[in-house]
Amino acid sequence: MKKLFFLFTLFPFLLAAQTDTTLSENGDITSINEKGIDALVHKYENILKAKNGVEGWRVQLMFKAKQEEIKQLKIDFIKLYPEIPAYLEYDAPYYRVRVGNCRTKLEAIKIKHQISKNFPGAYPVPEIINFSQLKN
């Protein structure tokens, strides 16, 4: 009886199930989209190209007016964490050091916790991340 009940409740869903992707013989995935989806994707790509990147997050270590002090901070950071990219930026009148290339704020918070022992004043900040700086 349970099997019949299961069959009758599941069977209509199996009949109505549709897929929008197919797998070809050589292993390529083909996606079949509704009208307008490709146009929206193209529009989104153009927006990202105009921004010269995607919205992301970095962790700001510090900002100072003197370039020499901030350069030394960047060098110290690179010595401690060579796997995390560091950037020295100038936004008048301050120089600032920001690290990481994160797509989400959660990723930036993880970096913040990782470096908090050596850089306790670090905090996540939103930033436009260039395509070439993102990991694949």
Q: pLDDT digits over 54-97, tens only? A: 899 999 999 999 899 899 999 999 999 999 999 999 988 999 99
Six-digit token pair at 114?
């990782």
Model confidence over 46-66: pLDDT tens digits? 887 787 888 999 999 999 998
In the 8-state DSSP scheme, what is residue 132? G
**pLDDT of res. 77:** 95
> Domain residue spans in the chain?
56-133
Six-digit token pair at 82?
């060579």
Which of residues 36 and 123 earns the better pLDDT score? 123
Q: What percent of the chain is modeled with pLDDT above 90?
A: 47
- Residue of 93, 94, 85 lying closest to 59 (CA atoms): 85
Six-digit token pair at 50?
């105009």
The count of other CB atoms within 10 Å of the CB of residue 124 is 21
When pLDDT is cut at 50, 70 and 90, the band that residue 5 belongs to is low
Which homologous superfamily is 56-133 in? Sporulation related repeat (3.30.70.1070)
Residue corresponding to tokens 């970096």: 111
Model confidence over 10-24: pLDDT tens digits? 666 655 555 556 666
